[in-house]
Amino acid sequence: MRADVLAIGTELLLGQIVDTNSAWIGEQLATIGIDTYDHRKVGDNLDRMIEALRDLLREADAVIVCGGIGPTPDDVTREAIAAVMGVELERREELVEHIAKLFGIRQRDMPQNNLRQADIPIGAEPIPNPIGTAPGVRAEVMGDDGKKRVVYAVPGVPYEMQQMVNDFVLPDLLELSGERAVIVSRSLKTWGTSESGLAEMIAHRVDAQQNPTIAFLARGIEGLYVRLTAKAATKDAAAKLIEDEERELRRILGDLVFGVDDETMESAVLDRVRDRGWTLGVAESVTGGMVGTRLSDVPGASDVFRGSIVSYATDVKRSVLGVTAENVVSLECAKQMAEGAQRVLGADVGIAVTGVAGPAEQDGQAVGTVCFGLAVPGAPTEAVETRLPGDRIRIRQFGTISLLNLVRLRLDALP
């Protein structure tokens, strides 16, 4: 079965918004074994939307239309689908009630233009949207060859779109395809090697892949993911296939693997600190609060994470953290910052980062020079220096995740 994607929005064509929705939908389709050959973008123009939709439906069994179902006059996806079906729109009272209820919960008056979102092509059915005012659309279209095609319309808001695709669109596509097998997917998250290096390490597993299949996903600052997808008659059987292959990949990749699926580098660090009954404090300079932000984003972090001191200015490093090192981008300074985080925040583990993000060198240190400090109970304080690539923002981002990865590896190495 083939399902293609049509992304709606002039802002996508102008580059004002990056179309991450189509990429995400394509990934989900691949996970359940549905082919996708064509992803297109079209602006908020009714005629061009109709033309693009008709063109895709000539080849695809289904088309997922993302965006253009909001309340404003330029949201005309519903009209485009109705035109392709050859029908009019009808207002559905149950959708009016749903939209009005959402506004009531938010204690807001409902603008009249939101009623447009309750309009559905005659013969189509709404796709429930429990968290937003824009219900989706599922419409069947008869092709010139007499074969039935299906159009799904979902919002452009990513979290609404993702829930509707997962809860409704993907199960419906599987049913239409006649696929009775269960598909299970798992992603191993890695950090610390290049894509080519990772591919070389597991090339023999990839060459021999059958079920489960193995795919690489480069996630930039978040590392490289190795996605395993298995198909079997039952969920347990598919999971067993995944587990067997995961065990072998973990044996090969070792400590490059830091998490699975929704686990993050920061959650991995917090779990390790928690497992030892310790607390964690951070002192950061070049990253300007990024380390603390990532740690505090993890649900339940408060039982471990004591806080982060953003000691960006030199005098703050000295007055708050007690840094005496002459050069504030140095191994000595990183050690003193980590110990300062321990002391000031009352933490068992203190970690620190200081460096030069640019645009110019500082105290004789080149742009991209970053020093990490780590102080843990019962061990000498240590520091590591590295040179990170990229512009100012990327140096800070790489500095953040590199520090967290260093902490993960060091905690794993402790007795």
pLDDT at position 184: 85
- Strand-pair category, 39-42 with 3-8: parallel
| Structure confidence at residue 260 (pLDDT) | 96
| Below-50 pLDDT ranges, the chain | none
Q: What is the pLDDT of residue 146?
A: 83
| H-run or E-run covering 66 | strand 62-66
Choose among 358, 337, 353: nearest CA to 385.
353
Q: Note whether 114 and 91 are within 8 A (CB).
A: no
Chain segment 43-76, per-residue pLDDT in tens: 999 999 999 999 999 999 999 999 999 888 889 9
Tens digit of each residue's pLDDT (9 = 90 or more) over 103-161: 887 777 778 888 888 999 999 999 988 888 889 999 999 887 889 999 999 999 999 99
Domains of the chain: 3-177 (3.40.980.10), 182-260 (3.30.70.2860), 265-413 (3.90.950.20)
pLDDT, residue 359, reads 87
Q: What is residue 70's predicted lDDT score, i.e. its pLDDT? A: 87
Q: Which residues contact residue 7 at a Cβ distance below 8 angstroms, ignoring those fewer than 6 apart?
A: 19, 21, 22, 39, 40, 41, 42, 66, 67, 156
Give SS3 for 28: helix
Q: What is the pLDDT of residue 90?
A: 95
Single pTM value for the model: 0.75
Q: Which two tokens stand for residue 221?
A: 């600052």
Here the tokens at position 190 are 């890695």
Q: Which residues pair with 350 in a beta bridge?
A: 281, 375
Q: Which residues contact 367 (CB under 8 A, 6 or more apart)?
A: 356, 357, 358, 359, 360, 361, 395
